[in-house]
């Protein structure tokens, strides 16, 4: 077999975009909302925590933040903290789908996470964007764990590689709004086909390259192929969505829409990669490439932490949570503070980008939810699920200048965490909850106190 040359790769648009970090391997080893609705949904997904340390104080118009969530105080006028809720299966722990599906393992093929449910409903209502959803998370299956995201009873794997995520969202350029519904759908379909063509080319190039490198470099390429498979799954779903008929909503990129810098794909630090993922999500929102996005930190089994500037190194699950009593959970508190800071970062960035139609900022029309797989991670149960909600949400979310804190008594069987998920659906203007969560949930209504 002839040796694959660097020039051969450089001649390929797809390879120059996706394989640039790997070229050196050739040279040497290496309910309807009544007050408004949001346009977008963003999920910020992390492990469960120590609820006693997370718990703030205050009430409907003022919050005293705990040390663990103190960074949120800088945006207190924009956030609602919620705790004390139980899942439908409070004894569930690692790997249970409940977190953002509202349904445990007994859901079978009916299990769908709130992000996918909302994406499907938007499509059915005629909102056609280049990607129905953008689900990201570096090494979100680390430790062999499951992710938050489900569809048809199948666990979905987020796109792990920042470079693959970038190419999925921006590989065909940024969308331009068109004047007619038909041309919009056609343009979206053409974009997806171009992305698929690039993807097919790159997969072939990687397969060829694998035969010319050593074992260590081959392992890196295999990881990249895994990310590309995740991209392929998303594109297949998107191409199906682009063929929908009926009245469609024309994508409206913000004036601030621009193709972000191509990210490096060489980082092994999950937290660094996820910060790149968050920037990609913000840019994808600005360009109206998607209306539904999520970022996941770690899996239900492990979250390797490497933050030397904070003196934090270890594993969130095995070290900070289950060995946390050794240092009185100081490491867990510091890591939760870091996560809260990243939640604030997203708010700040969305506030800085104007809407295309002049209706405020992206933040003003987005509902953001910090979600967890468990409530009490120390004791491995879902008896004290907590959330942080933020965003203007088109006027849906009730906020206060001093912040808001909703505590619900977990002894009430009706105080189900699924009701917060129903509030997210409600905030997006979706009027029917049929097909989501537990069909036996009494009342099947959003959580009281969230909507304005």
Examine the pLDDT at 411 and tell me if it is beyond 80: no
Examine the pLDDT at 322 and tell me if it is beyond 70: yes
- Helix axis angle for 270-286 and 162-170, nearest 10°, is 10
Through-space distance between the first and last CA atoms of the chain, rounded to whole angstroms: 67
Choice between 343 and 359, residue whose per-residue pLDDT is larger: 343
User: pLDDT band for position 233 (50/70/90)?
Assistant: low
Residue 451 CB coordination number (10 Å)? 19
Residue 54: which of 82, 78, 24, 32 has the closest Cα?
82
Torsions phi, psi for 451 (to 5 deg):
-75, 145
Least confident range of 68-82, 281-295, 318-332, 409-423: 409-423
Please tell me the distance from the alpha carbon of residue 140 to that of residue 171, in angstroms, as a whole number. 23
Q: Residue 320 carries which DSSP code?
A: I
Beta strand 292-296 with 40-46: parallel, antiparallel or unpaired? parallel
Architecture of domain 31-160+254-427: 3-Layer(aba) Sandwich (3.40)
Please tell me the distance from the alpha carbon of residue 429 to that of residue 291, in angstroms, as a whole number. 13
Predicted confidence (pLDDT) per residue in 47-66, tens digit: 999 999 999 999 899 999 99
- In this prediction, residue 66 carries a pLDDT of 98
Three-state secondary-structure class, residue 17: helix
136: left (phi over 0), alpha (psi -120 to 50) or beta: beta
User: pLDDT band for position 40 (50/70/90)?
Assistant: very high
- In this prediction, residue 19 carries a pLDDT of 47
| 8 Å CB contact between 33 and 396 | yes
Residue 114: which of 333, 304, 383, 368 has the closest Cα?
368
The mean pLDDT of 281-294, rounded to a whole number, is 97
The set of residues, in sequence order, having a beta carbon less than 8 Å from that of 392 and lying 6+ positions away, is 38, 78, 360, 361, 363, 364, 365, 366
- In this prediction, residue 244 carries a pLDDT of 45
Which residue is listed with tokens 């995201």?
149
3-state secondary structure labels for all residues of 209-243: HHCCCCHHHHHHHHHHHHHHHHHHHHHHHHHHHCC
Please tell me the distance from the alpha carbon of residue 1 to that of residue 273, in angstroms, as a whole number. 36
Please tell me the distance from the alpha carbon of residue 423 to that of residue 254, in angstroms, as a whole number. 27
- pLDDT more than 70, % of the chain: 74
Examine the pLDDT at 256 and tell me if it is beyond 60: yes
Map out the domains of the chain as residue ranges.
1-30+178-250, 31-160+254-427
User: pLDDT band for position 315 (50/70/90)?
Assistant: very high
Distance of CA 296 to the CA centre of its chain: 6
Least confident range of 16-20, 295-299, 368-372: 16-20
Residue 304: which of 291, 317, 290, 289 has the closest Cα?
317
């Amino acid at each position: 077999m002839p040796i694959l040359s660097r020039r051969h790769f450089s001649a390929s648009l797809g390879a120059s975009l996706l394989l640039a970090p790997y070229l050196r391997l050739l040279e040497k080893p290496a309910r309807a909302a009544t007050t408004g609705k949001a346009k977008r949904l963003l999920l910020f997904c992390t492990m469960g925590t120590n609820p006693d340390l997370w718990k703030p104080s205050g009430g409907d118009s003022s919050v005293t933040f705990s040390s663990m969530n103190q960074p949120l105080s800088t945006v207190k006028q924009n956030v609602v903290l919620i705790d004390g809720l139980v899942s439908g299966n409070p004894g569930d722990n690692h790997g249970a789908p409940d977190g953002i599906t509202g349904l445990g393992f007994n859901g079978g093929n009916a299990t769908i996470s709130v992000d996918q449910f909302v994406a499907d409903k938007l499509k059915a209502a005629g909102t056609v964007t280049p990607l129905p959803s953008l689900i990201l998370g570096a090494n979100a299956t680390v430790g062999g764990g499951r992710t938050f995201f489900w569809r048809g009873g199948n666990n979905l794997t987020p796109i792990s590689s920042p470079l693959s995520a970038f190419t999925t969202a921006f590989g065909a350029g940024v969308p331009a709004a068109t004047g007619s519904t038909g041309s919009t759908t056609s343009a979206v379909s053409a974009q997806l086909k171009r992305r698929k063509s690039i993807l097919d080319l790159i997969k072939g190039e990687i397969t060829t390259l694998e035969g010319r490198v050593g074992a260590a470099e081959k392992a890196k390429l295999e990881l990249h192929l895994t990310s590309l498979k995740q991209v392929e799954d998303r594109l297949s779903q998107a191409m199906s969505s682009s063929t929908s008929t009926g009245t469609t909503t024309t994508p409206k990129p913000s004036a601030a829409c621009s193709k972000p810098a191509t990210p490096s794909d060489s980082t092994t630090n999950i937290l660094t990669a996820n910060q790149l993922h968050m920037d990609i999500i913000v840019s994808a929102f600005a360009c109206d490439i998607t209306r539904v996005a999520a970022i996941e930190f770690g899996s239900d089994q492990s979250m390797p932490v490497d933050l030397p500037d904070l003196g934090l190194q270890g594993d969130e699950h095995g070290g900070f949570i289950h060995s946390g009593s050794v240092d009185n959970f100081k490491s867990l508190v510091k890591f939760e503070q870091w996560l809260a800071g990243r939640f604030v970062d997203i708010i700040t960035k969305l506030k800085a980008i104007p809407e295309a139609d002049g209706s405020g900022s992206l933040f003003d029309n987005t509902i953001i939810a910090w979600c967890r797989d468990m409530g009490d991670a120390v004791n491995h149960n879902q008896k004290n699920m907590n959330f942080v909600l933020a965003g203007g949400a088109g006027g849906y979310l009730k906020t206060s200048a001093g912040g808001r804190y909703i505590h619900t008594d977990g002894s009430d069987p009706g105080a189900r965490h699924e009701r917060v998920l129903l509030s997210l659906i409600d905030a997006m203007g979706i009027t029917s909850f049929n097909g989501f969560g537990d069909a036996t949930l009494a009342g099947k209504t959003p959580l009281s106190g969230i909507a304005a």
